Structure 1
């Protein structure tokens, strides 16, 4: 139990069971009903109302609000988030930031209030891009003109926040890293510098436990980023690659990028779930890398992938402990590609879901028949 949760339970003055029930209820309040609702979720507004009811509700609600502080739905409170974390830093940590020229206009007022919770220890889910945008916006609003665009100062603040989380004993369960589809070379260099922070030794205790990793965007020119991710996140259980692109005109560079991306998959020690959605022409390489997770992989989901000219799915067929396979609106799934699956022995496979656009769209009948047979056998057991 973290310090923040311990303080919360003491404030509540009730049995843990009641407190745990409140936490669970509030978790459902802020979770979007549908995935499309996650960017316009009124649940956070409702939760702000809940924490005003009494101390017990406040304690349980605060844990939910601060476990994912850089969520898009917190956009109206971004400045307060940074100011609250600054008020939790000691003088030595603040001095490091001051040496970069940063000033803290709201810090004296915040420190007089004495934070009621150990807010840094409560973070569990990190949306890294949103954290960077929050820091940049905070600098734009609070700093002098010279520091508003100062990359070293912003990097120092990001590093200080991550170190604060780690020092408080926080353990991340989920990291989401979304990059723009296209950026100029300067932005590539800047994002690369921010990403390397995640691999620094003093932050490893925070990032190492991460079990859920979501990546999206254009990762071209991010050769070293993959190395960083492979070294930092090795205990991922659920890996989601959605709209991952490697736009580059240099073939050798692209091959190296794909190789390094595959190393992120093979570096995992116990991958259970893998999702691949709307990628370029390199998804077959990602699938081949799944062979390294044959002993642990249980679920795979493919969404909007074009398997034209794809080699046989040997890597996927090696994962004989699979329990569920989903192919949602994928194209050109040929008999040659799925032949290894049809001949493999999946003793734990209970569901194969194949969803198309209303017609087969090149999904071979052999694969569809195999899926129907698997599902029928599972129902009869």
Structure 2
């Protein structure tokens, strides 16, 4: 084992890190098990360290009784683990701000430039140590129209890091992207990502809500998202959840990736006023289609899908009362055929 080929060792370590086949993410428990490998010998260390540095802000959780804080100040996460909630978070800005308040009073806070310098220094350190981001989560937990501009300030700091030529390669390797909630500079971030990131395999968008689908902010978001998707060469997975008012911008944008898309999931999505699903029907390599707790679907909308023969599909999942009967009948037919094939094997 000590003298195995480096490529073989890497595959073993990726299995040890419990790599998600869909997103390429490592589990928190898997990474914890990988740490002892760096002490075995130089070869093991040289193979294991790049994997560990793929999530440079991951921290270990030694006790299941110790809750991980979920503050509204989180701006960058390197995790797509929705089960164990062991999230990797940049909290240095928040911690430093708390120290300043304890020392100088409640009104003390970091300036925008200080936020940027701290974040840039940390990212540059990781980059120089060989770190390359495998995934990026941009999550805002405060209400979008809050009077508190703390989230905007941290987002502006992150935006400045994106345009830094020194860090371009650091972000260029991202293959999993997650973001939620519209806020003032989301479109700028997405536009910058479209110029830097061309290797995305998985995109997860959630918690987008608008009272009216024809507002300027929805239109601008659609343009930014279309630019992001158009820049990708191998986008294979898309997940949209908790969305209303923005839904109509996604399928036209995804029409740029019909040759590579294999997994699509819609969860708690309002399809009101959306056009027929021609984009989904054109995904010839579709393997999995999930429509869960969605509303306002109709026959005209889903007709292109149910009239298409997907040669590679292995899952057609639906759940909820807002899905039209024709889609449920089609999905049941697909799943029955899959079960029959399995029984014949």
TM-score normalized by the length of structure 2: 0.73
Q: Does 1:274 align with 2:235?
A: no
Structure 1, unaligned stretches of length 5 or more?
A: 1-12, 32-37, 77-124
2:134 aligned residue: 173
Q: CA deviation at 1:153?
A: 2.0
Q: Distance in 1 between matches of 2:92 and 2:30?
A: 18
Aligned-partner Cα distance in 2 for 1:138–1:187: 14
For the residues of structure 2 that align with 1:16 and 1:180, how far apart are their CA atoms?
Answer: 46
Q: Is residue 70 from structure 1 mapped to residue 57 from structure 2 by the alignment?
A: yes
Contact kept? 2:208, 2:246, Cα under 8 Å: no
State the partner residue of 2:296: 332
Query: For structure 1, which segment, 132-141 or 167-176, has the greater mean C-alpha deviation from structure 2 after superposition?
Result: 132-141
Matched, 1:27 2:11: no
Query: CA contact under 8 A between 1:47 and 1:61: conserved in structure 2?
Result: no
- SS, match of residue 114 in structure 2: helix
**Cα deviation, residue 159, structure 1:** 0.9
TM-score (norm 1): 0.67
Partner residue, 1:230: 194
- Residues 145-178 of structure 1: CA distance to partner in whole angstroms, max 9, x if unpaired? 4985233123112112222222333222111111
Work out which of the residue numbers 147, 150, 158 in structure 2 matches 1:187: 150
Trace 1:252-331 onto structure 2 (pairs within 5 A).
Answer: 252-331=216-295
Structure 1 stretch displaced more, 163-172 or 127-136 = 127-136
Q: 1: CA distance between counterparts of 2:278 and 2:79? A: 34
| More helix, by proportion | 1
In the alignment, the residues of structure 1 paired with residue 12 and residue 234 of structure 2 have an alpha-carbon distance, to the nearest angstrom, of 32
Match of 2:119 in 1: 158
Aligned-pair Cα RMSD in Å: 3.9
Q: Provide closer, same or farther for how the CA distance between residues 167 and 63 of structure 1 changes in structure 2, counting only shifts above 3 A.
A: closer
2:39 corresponds to which residue?
A: 55
Would you say how many aligned residue pairs link Structure 1 and Structure 2? 305
Alignment partners' CA distance in 2, 1:250 and 1:348: 36
Unaligned runs of 5+ in 2: 21-26, 64-76, 81-86
Which residue in 2 is equivalent to 1:364? 324
Question: Aligned pair 1:133/2:84, yes or no?
Answer: no
- CA distance in 1: counterparts of 2:212 and 2:257, whole angstroms: 28
CA offsets per residue over residues 339-378 of structure 1, 9 Å max, x none?
111223423223211122xxxx132221111112222333
Which SS does the other structure have where 2:269 is aligned? Answer: coil
Task: Kindly name which structure, 1 or 2, has the bigger radius of gyration based on alpha carbons.
Answer: 1
